[in-house]
Amino acid sequence: MRMGTGLLIGIMLLSGAVSVGAQVTYKTVTAKKKGVVSSAKMPVFRAKTPVAALANQTLFAFVKKGQTAFLKENSAPPKGFPVPDYSQEYIAKTHYNYAPRLISVEVGVSFYTGGAHPGYAVQCFNFGNIDGKVKRLGLLDLFSKKAEATDTRQQIKDALLNKLHSLKDIASFVKDGTVTDLTNAQLDNFVILSDGLEFIFSPYEVGSWAEGTITVKLSVSELGSEFRKMLLFAR
């Protein structure tokens, strides 16, 4: 279990599980108006590859869209009312950076607009060159073409729900029957590791706020024979 800790201003890039010849610089992006601020220190993958270019374009667009919406939704108060102190932060962790073929990034978004605690959500981004096509990757892209989409999703869904049931003191919504299924969007919210995939659930998805962000790892063997493991191992 991992938990967002407070409202930092910025986006932090932590070294990933796989980093081959990785050159990363940073660009700070800030948007603000009276009483409201959103700030991010964005990673820029410097490799001159189509995968790195797509990662940079997509991540910057994600932050820009989020900052614009945050400022728009939290407008200035009417005259005479106190000015709010609202903030938003982006925290990124790179799990896989082999720019010729794969980049995997986890972005946590924390925001405070009053109340007992900030809101927090995680969005994962995976980019790769699959069969000569550079694209943002979903779960099915990592399985062989002969694998049936419905069967693959059901296989992964069952494995995740079984592991969530087995976690100690967390994933309470699964254990009490509130959550009995997972959406395709949740199945696509994973990061790529050197030895498998890690699926990430934001607070309230499969457990309470107090349970934090919940992660479930599936190893290469648990992903099954149709998983394209050579995407992870080949250099």
As to burial, measured by CB atoms within 10 angstroms (0-12 exposed, 13-18 middle, 19+ buried), residue 89 is buried
pLDDT of residue 5: 34
In the chain, DSSP assigns E strands to 13-14, 18-19, 24-33, 36-45, 86-98, 102-112, 119-130, 133-136, 190-193, 196-201, 214-219
pLDDT at 216: 98
Residue found by looking up tokens 């890690």 in the block? 198
| Nearest residue to 102 (alpha-carbon basis) of 118, 80, 124 | 124
Q: Which domains are delineated in the chain?
A: 1-137 (3.30.565.40), 139-235 (3.90.640)
Q: How far apart are CA 88 and CA 111, in angstroms?
A: 4
List, for residues 92-126, the tens digit of each pLDDT value. 988 988 888 999 999 999 999 988 888 999 999 99
Q: Indicate if the pLDDT at residue 80 is higher than 60.
A: yes
pTM over 0.85: yes
Contacts 24+ apart (CB under 8 A), 185-189: 187/139, 187/153, 187/156, 187/157, 187/160, 188/124, 188/138, 188/139, 189/122, 189/123, 189/124
